[in-house]
Structure 1
Amino acid sequence: MRPGEERVARMALGMLVEPGCRELGVLVRSVGAQEALARVVGGFGISRALAGAVQARVRGSGVEGSPDVGTQLAERMEELAERLGARIVTAVDEEWPSALDDLVKASREGNMLRRDTDPPMCVWLRGPLRFAETLERSVSVVGARAITGYGAYVASEFAYGLAECGCTVVSGGALGVDVTAHRGALAGAGATVAVLACGIDKAYPAANAAVLEQIGDEGLLVTEWPPGTHPHKTRFLTRNRVIAAATRGTVMIEAGSRSGARSTLGYARLLQRTAMVVPGPINSPMSVGCHVELRQPGTVLVTRVEEVIEEIGSIGELATPIQGAGRPEDVLDPLQARILDAVRPRRATTAEQIAATAGVSGRDARRNLPLLEELGFVVSGPDGYRLSSEPRGPVEGEPPPAGRPAGRRGSAEPRPPGGEEGW
């Protein structure tokens, strides 16, 4: 079959059959798109349910009885796309991301929502970005619609940070985490893709119309459904498989126990993408789903953008380990720290008393106390040493002084008061 014929057949099938249909996917893979189109339109070699569904759409489209249903539908689709400022992409086009073909792996017998997960026949796009190129380094950010202030903060910060790191942020354009992630990516001057569960001409939900319009101008709007299609509950769940397949990994931020975002994470695991979850407060109903998913094998806990990049980025893009705030005494070696712990804060004590308290030799105490004084940790007086009220540590850029060499007496080491004992 010539590429043009394959493209026309896939476009027509995308109009006539609900996205994700496994029966259609198996048929196309076995006999090709053109023969599959002939069978579904003719109603032979397919199930009664699929034949009935196709006939209903053929009648509704006004091409019933046409000698070439596929060509007529494809021409209408191209005209409609041009009128809407959109374009149609199929698996035979250069702009098609091969990652979507992995959805064949997600097809499983059983529940209809789980079973009908085949790759799209075609997608409608609106926006200046190239589909495949935009998804090469991408992360999906999903979660609850009714987010808390915590969820809004995390979604915004993650999306902004990912955009700054050159990652495309993909989400579903819905309320809550989705739209917050889109806004964060746009604020970070990054690329963002909204995968819709309705026609490309529908701004759903209406509250997000302005953001979706901006994404269509600067990013990319994507949908499998033809213009005029309204969103249904099952279509959101079907849409989620594309969000998971298109990206290198999925981050879930806030999700209730029945959140649809959990299906996206499940698809990510099934497709061997990285499934990541941001934990929330353990007493928050909006984080119950997150915590349940964190107990699933293969799920990665993330708390920073750097950790997300480490999971989906190139080899060597490692997150910097989290460390506590630096303290002046961090420059000390274990022996010096032990001696410093034994110095009293207000009452001066001798080196021998400090050594006894610390459990070290008098020699070690006498060697290191002058260094601690030089660093500003202790001050000395006629009665011995006490803690300084303002330890300064080493001067920036200057290594901390090392302990003086042991084993010999000399001008570098002061003589101890009270004789030679301990030297």
Structure 2
Amino acid sequence: MTDDGERRARVTLSRVVEPGDEVCGRWVREVGAREAVRWLSGGEGQPRGMTDSRWAGLRARAERADPEGDLGRARDAGVRFVCPGDPEWPAQLDDLGDGRPLGLWVRGLSSLRIWALRSVAVVGARACTEYGAHMAATLGAGLAERGWVVVSGGAYGVDGAAHRGALGAGGATVAVLACGVDRPYPRGHTQLISRIAEQGLVIGELPPGAHPTPSRFILRNRVIAALTRGTVVVEAAYRSGALVTARAAQRLGRFTMGVPGPATSSLSAGVHELLRGEAVLVTDAAEVAELVGDMGELAPERRGPVLPRDLLPPGARRVLAALPARRPSAVDEIARGAATTTDDAVGRLYELRALGFVERHGDGWKLTRQASTSVRDDREGR
């Protein structure tokens, strides 16, 4: 368990250091969080690999840091600060190396570590189509029903649809924000994020009151990728933050999946580019669970409908295929077409008549109207 001094030091650094800063992350790893705060207070020189101007900027931030105030505001908002070494810390975040979070601010009652063990990220375009929103909501609901935690970024579009799908199914969902978890962003999702905090978890690296920036959105995505077993992308253009999440997942050795869309849609172009690489095509929650889940979590076998003619023995199917679609045919002609004897063809024809596939016209045999349509569709591949 992290002691109070280490926790306060990491709270201070969360106010000073930007998320994902690997130079500062290496410095903290080498000297420790408390020693890093002492350096910022003027106790030592500056870390190696850091410019004078950058060091001056960090020290200016440190002068304004108020860890006790941040922890107090967090408590008032029902938020806790989870550090590496805490029982609730998800160990898979350590895969980020020096870019791992200094700590996470967590809003919600459940254990982040336990939930992250069986979680999947569902991300995609903010300005998604109706198709994208439908697929994200369906995936969110389906994964939740299978006992998976749905992780996303709380944004408009695909993120919001995935969260709503999981919540609607009575399942678990986690929103990873690029700002303080006490100030929902975007504002239009205030009610959604509040509901996630009640039924799930809202987490972030930034201290209470911190505002989002473009770079913080991008860096937030590495946490989504590292926290989960795999990332599903639902609609993404070539320049999309969702692709950043997917590529981070690939670098970390996590599963990467994509939901295909129309080839003519620019919002599917980024997903299709992923699918041309190492990503796996998925169309529903069962296929996602089969890929990221445990042994035995198999998606059902996919096939077209079973037709009556599929149940016929091979000999009867050959005779049926040998009958012309529109005219009666003699038995010897049918036998030649089926590559069998006349006696065998006669026996098969009477069997087919009993099943409603053929009818006799004098000395000839002909397909019934229903069988004629079915056989024609089969031959044309419909």
Give the alignment's TM-score, normalised by structure 1: 0.82
What is the aligned partner in structure 2 of residue 157 from structure 1? 138
For 1:22-421, list aligned pairs within 5 A.
22-42=22-42, 44-46=45-47, 47=50, 48-61=52-65, 73=67, 75-104=68-97, 118-296=99-277, 298-345=278-325, 347-380=327-360, 382-390=362-370
Give 1:301 deviation, angstroms. Answer: 1.4
Q: CA–CA distance in 2 between the matches of 1:184 and 1:212?
A: 14
Q: CA deviation at 1:20?
A: 1.3
1:17 aligns with 2:35: no
- In 1, the alpha carbon distance for the partners of 2:258 and 2:180 equals 30
Give the residue type in structure 2 aligned to 1:5: G
SS in 2 for 1:193: strand
Asked if 2 retains the 8 angstrom alpha-carbon contact of 1:17 and 1:53, the reply is no
SS in 1 for 2:207: coil
Write out per-residue CA displacement over residues 339-385 of structure 1, whole angstroms, 9 at most, x where no aligned residue: 10123456544432311233322233133223323333223465343
DSSP 3-state at the match of 1:325: coil
The structure carrying a bigger helix percent of its residues is 2
Q: Is the 8 A contact 2:19 2:205 kept in 1?
A: yes
CA contact (8 A) 1:345 1:388 kept: no
SS of 1:102's equivalent? helix
Separation of aligned partners in 1, 2:349 and 2:364: 10
Name the SS of the counterpart of 1:92 in structure 2: coil
1:45, distance to aligned residue in structure 2 (A): 3.7
Instruction: Identify if the C-alpha distance between structure 1 residues 58 and 6 changes in structure 2 by more than 3 Å, giving closer, same or farther.
Output: closer
Asked if the contact 1:142/1:251 (under 8 Å) is kept, the reply is yes
SS in 1 for 2:290: helix
Distance in 2 (CA, whole Å) between partners of 1:345 and 1:254 is 45
In 2, Cα distance between equivalents of 1:165 and 1:324: 25
Q: Which amino acid aligns with 1:83?
A: D
Structure-2 separation of matches of 1:336 and 1:95 = 65
Instruction: Tell me by how many angstroms 1:134 deviates.
Output: 1.0
Q: Following the alignment from structure 2 to structure 1, what is the Cα–Cα distance between the partners of residues 326 and 240?
A: 59
- 1:409 matched to which residue of 2? none
Deviations 1:10-68 (A, max 9, x none): 2222222112111121122223222233223335241234532322222323x6xxxxx
Residues 1:236 and 1:185: Cα distance change in structure 2 (over 3 Å):
same
1:239 counterpart SS class: helix
- Which secondary structure state, in structure 1, belongs to the residue aligned with residue 294 of structure 2? coil
The size of the alignment, in residue pairs, is 367
Q: 1:146 to 1:2 in 2, by over 3 A?
A: closer
Contact 2:88 2:112 in 1 (8 A): yes
Report Cα offsets for 1:250-303 as digits up to 9, x if no partner. Answer: 00111111111110011000000001111111111111111222222x211112
Whole-angstrom CA distance in 1 between matches of 2:53 and 2:88: 33
Identical positions, percent: 45
The ranges of structure 1 where at least 4 consecutive aligned residues each deviate by more than 6 angstroms after the TM superposition are: none
Q: Cα 1:331–1:41, aligned 2, differ >3 Å: closer, same or farther?
A: farther
The AA in structure 1 aligned to 2:28 is V
User: Do the aligned partners of residues 91 and 380 (structure 1) sit closer, same or farther apart at CA in structure 2, a change above 3 Å counting?
Assistant: same
Q: Could you say what the CA RMSD is over the residues aligned between the two structures, in angstroms?
A: 2.0
Paired residue secondary structure (1:267): helix
Q: Radius of gyration: which is bigger?
A: 1
- Contact 1:40/1:50 (8 A) holds in 2: no
Equivalents in 2 of 1:53, 1:76: separation in Å?
Answer: 21
Q: Report the TM-score when normalising by structure 2.
A: 0.90
Structure 1 residues 248 and 204: alpha-carbon distance in aligned structure 2, compared to 1, 3 A threshold: same
Unaligned runs of 5+ in 1: 64-72, 108-117, 392-423
Deviates more, 1:88-97 or 1:285-294: 285-294
Q: Deviation per CA, 1:213-238, whole angstroms, max 9, x where unpaired?
A: 11011111001101111110000001
**Partners of 2:109 and 2:350 in 1: how far apart?**
68
> What is the alpha-carbon distance in structure 2 between the residues aligned to residue 356 and residue 338 of structure 1?
11
Structure 2 residue identity aligned to 1:362: T
Structure 1 residues 285-344: Cα deviation after superposition (integer angstroms, max 9, x where no partner): 111111222222x21111222111111100121222321122111112333212101234
